[in-house]
Amino acid sequence: MTIHKEGYKIIAGSTILFGIINILSFYFMSFSLPWLSWFVFIATLGLLCFIISFFRVPNRTMTIREDAIVAPADGKVVAIEEVNADEYFTDRRIQVSIFMSPLNVHVNRNPVSGTVIYNRYHKGKYLVAWHPKSSMENERNSIGYNKEGKEILVKQIAGAVAKRIVNYLQVGQQVQQGAEMGFIKFGSRVDLLLPLDIKIRVKIGEMAKGGVTVIAEW
């Protein structure tokens, strides 16, 4: 396991703050209120461990398959439904939504190999990630992929807690399935918009692993 580059500054700042708080706590409370000093230490240590864990990148063997679309994110599959596409596409599509809790790995990965044909950032609201309108009204970044003439769209969607979406791709770029394409900080959602004739291989409630779980097959 490694730590993602998006976490370096936040972890460094959190570690310094952890040290300052506990030095002051020890100096002012360790003799008169030792139980409170220990409480502060344990609480701040737990918070620091959580922040470090949030930026973890576990070692994984990625699923590389020409006929498969893999999960772009870790999380729970919360929706599989036919929708009217509201961006890039103008037809009906199958939408698969993955909810990422603050405890999930938050690296986002390319679901397919191919060419980036669309990449657009949208300012928006911060509705809770499972809200039905979050995919249309929340802050988000949308990425279109073309794989041998077949196109899909992925939306990185901010939630009530997530306040920053990072995307590393550019239009025209050739990408590999399972490689990093972005990061969303502190809980969010990722939507896939897929062709109607796709074969869905997950169920609602299933836990997906980014770059590993097969969401659908061509």
Query: CA–CA separation, 155 vs 88, rounded Å?
Result: 11
Per-residue pLDDT of 142-198, as tens digits, reads 999 999 899 999 999 876 555 578 899 999 999 999 999 998 876 678 999 999 999
∠ Cα 171 9 59 (to 5°): 65
Q: Catalytic site residues?
A: 188
**What does pTM read for this prediction?**
0.83
Per-residue pLDDT, 159: 66
- Residues 45-70: b if buried by 16+ CB within 10 A, e if exposed: eeebeebeebbebeeeebbeeeebbb
Per-residue pLDDT of 62-112, as tens digits, reads 999 999 999 999 999 999 999 998 888 989 999 999 998 888 888 999 999
pLDDT classification of 1: cutoffs 50, 70, 90: confident
Per-residue pLDDT of 22-39, as tens digits, reads 999 888 887 788 888 899
pLDDT classification of 138: cutoffs 50, 70, 90: low
Res 40 pLDDT > 60: yes
Tokens of 142: 């949308």
Strand partners, 146: 115, 151
- Count how many Cα atoms sit within 13 Å of the Cα of residue 16 in the half-sphere of its side chain: 5
Least confident of 108-112, 121-125, 135-139, 187-191: 135-139
Tokens of 84: 């009217």
Per-residue pLDDT, 122: 84
